């Protein structure tokens, strides 16, 4: 007869549990998102995201120093321009807000990795992630004309000092276009972190408050993925790898952990999970009401992202996590 199996033997003390723990979260896994706005000395908390601020560049630099001192290796920059237009000028202009922020951060904290989100939605007057058609194509987000603008945006971000380019608009062929643009401009060593599987998600709501990027009409379902689809995520990943992506992202994270797992199984590239704004706001709201233990819930969730295959996690909780792990 077999002896009774007793898995509990390995759970009898904290030290033993530590020894057999399969997945360990570290500060090295974290990427902290920041929102840059014009002005000076400006910090405005985002209504739906307690603890998250729109910051002028001087404040972004202060924040970047703090982030680096906490041991977090990277930030991702989003920009809110002074003016928005049909050509998303603020996205690709050499004096754009993200370009200026990237330069200032790299000057102050050279070892902090600066990731630039590469998309048009914060910069277009209509709030869509691409170039809009006219005439027969009115209201349509046009794929190939958008690629040209994304290429220009990525090159100017790299010129400004961005270490990694992260295209997030779900246009077909965007990795290839950006790779060609970067290479032609001499940025062969600048990696691309592709938002490879990005779903059309209601969890982005609070981000759109933060980035002031809510589409003025319609929604993003003609370019972002349908939440019902998993195989299609593998298709997207396959294309992005073939086009030269260096890292892959799945977004959102919590409701898509099966996708994180499948992407991890299907590729040999580092996988990033974006713990998006709505996921953050739900935890914050419950914590502020005293309904959950914020620290425990956040650490459990992050560990689970890693367990499901994420190598990196983009999260608004990053600074808190770094402090908790250090305590």
Quick note: the x/- pattern for ligand PBG over 264-283, rule CB under 6 A, is ------------xx------
**Alpha helices, DSSP H only, in the chain?**
14-20, 57-69, 89-92, 97-108, 143-160, 174-184, 205-211, 231-243, 257-266, 277-288, 294-307, 318-326
Let me know if 319 is a catalytic residue: no
Number of residues that bind ligand PBG (CB under 6 A): 13
Q: Binding to ligand PBG by residue 146, rule CB under 6 A? A: no
Residues 199-238 that bind ligand PBG (CB under 6 A): 204, 207-208, 213, 220
| Distance in angstroms (rounded) separating the CA atoms of residues 100 and 27 | 27
Phi, psi of 164, rounded to the nearest 5 degrees: -135, 140
- Min dist CB 11 to ligand PBG, Å, is 36
Phi, psi of 14, rounded to the nearest 5 degrees: -60, -40
Contact predicate 101/77, CB 8 Å: yes
Sole window of 64-72, 114-122, 253-261, 305-313 interacting with ligand PBG (rule: CB under 6 A): 114-122
Q: Please, which residue, 2 or 217, has the CB nearer to ligand PBG?
A: 217
Q: Binding to ligand PBG by residue 196, rule CB under 6 A? A: no
Q: Please, which residue, 20 or 298, has the CB nearer to ligand PBG?
A: 298
Let me know if 251 is a catalytic residue: yes
Q: Binding to ligand PBG by residue 92, rule CB under 6 A? A: no
| Distance in angstroms (rounded) separating the CA atoms of residues 128 and 122 | 8
Q: Binding to ligand PBG by residue 315, rule CB under 6 A? A: no
| Distance in angstroms (rounded) separating the CA atoms of residues 79 and 97 | 6
Task: Spot the catalytic one: 106, 198, 264, 319.
Answer: 198
The three-class DSSP label of residue 75 is strand
Query: Which strand (E) or helix (H) includes residue 50?
Result: strand 49-56
Task: Spot the catalytic one: 251, 264, 284, 319.
Answer: 251
- The residues facing 44 across adjacent strands are 54
Query: Known binding site: residues?
Result: 119, 121, 129, 208, 220, 236, 277, 316
Binding-site positions for Mg(2+) read: 236
| Residues binding ligand PBG (CB under 6 A) | 117, 119, 121, 129, 168-169, 204, 207-208, 213, 220, 276-277
């Amino acid at each position: 007869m077999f002896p009774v199996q007793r898995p509990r033997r390995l759970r009898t003390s904290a030290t033993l549990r530590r020894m057999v723990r399969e997945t360990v979260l570290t500060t090295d896994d974290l990427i902290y998102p920041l929102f840059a706005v014009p002005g000076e000395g400006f910090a405005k908390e985002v209504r739906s995201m307690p603890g998250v601020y729109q910051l002028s560049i001087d404040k972004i630099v202060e924040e970047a120093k703090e982030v680096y001192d906490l041991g977090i290796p990277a930030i991702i920059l989003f920009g809110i321009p002074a003016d928005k237009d049909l050509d998303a000028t603020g996205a690709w202009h050499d004096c754009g807000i993200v370009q200026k922020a990237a330069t200032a951060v790299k000057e102050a904290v050279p070892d902090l990795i600066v990731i630039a989100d590469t998309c048009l939605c914060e910069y277009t007057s209509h709030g869509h992630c691409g170039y809009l058609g006219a005439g027969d194509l009115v209201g349509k987000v046009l794929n190939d004309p958008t690629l040209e603008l994304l290429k220009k945006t990525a090159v100017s971000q790299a010129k400004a000092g961005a270490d990694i380019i992260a295209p997030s608009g779900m246009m077909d062929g965007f990795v290839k276009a950006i790779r060609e643009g970067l290479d032609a401009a001499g940025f062969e060593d600048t990696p691309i972190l592709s938002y490879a599987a990005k779903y059309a998600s209601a969890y982005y709501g609070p981000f759109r408050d933060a980035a002031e990027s809510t589409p003025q009409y319609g929604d993003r379902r003609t370019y972002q993925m349908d939440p019902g689809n998993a195989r299609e995520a593998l298709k997207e990943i396959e294309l992005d790898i073939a086009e030269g992506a260096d890292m892959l992202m799945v977004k959102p994270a919590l409701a898509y952990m099966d996708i994180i797992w499948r992407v991890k199984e299907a590729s040999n590239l580092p996988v990033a999970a974006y713990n998006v704004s709505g996921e953050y706001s739900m935890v914050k709201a419950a914590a502020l009401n005293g309904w959950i233990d914020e620290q425990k819930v956040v650490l459990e969730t992050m560990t689970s992202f890693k367990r499901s295959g994420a190598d990196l996690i983009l999260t608004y909780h990053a600074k808190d996590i770094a402090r908790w792990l250090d305590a």
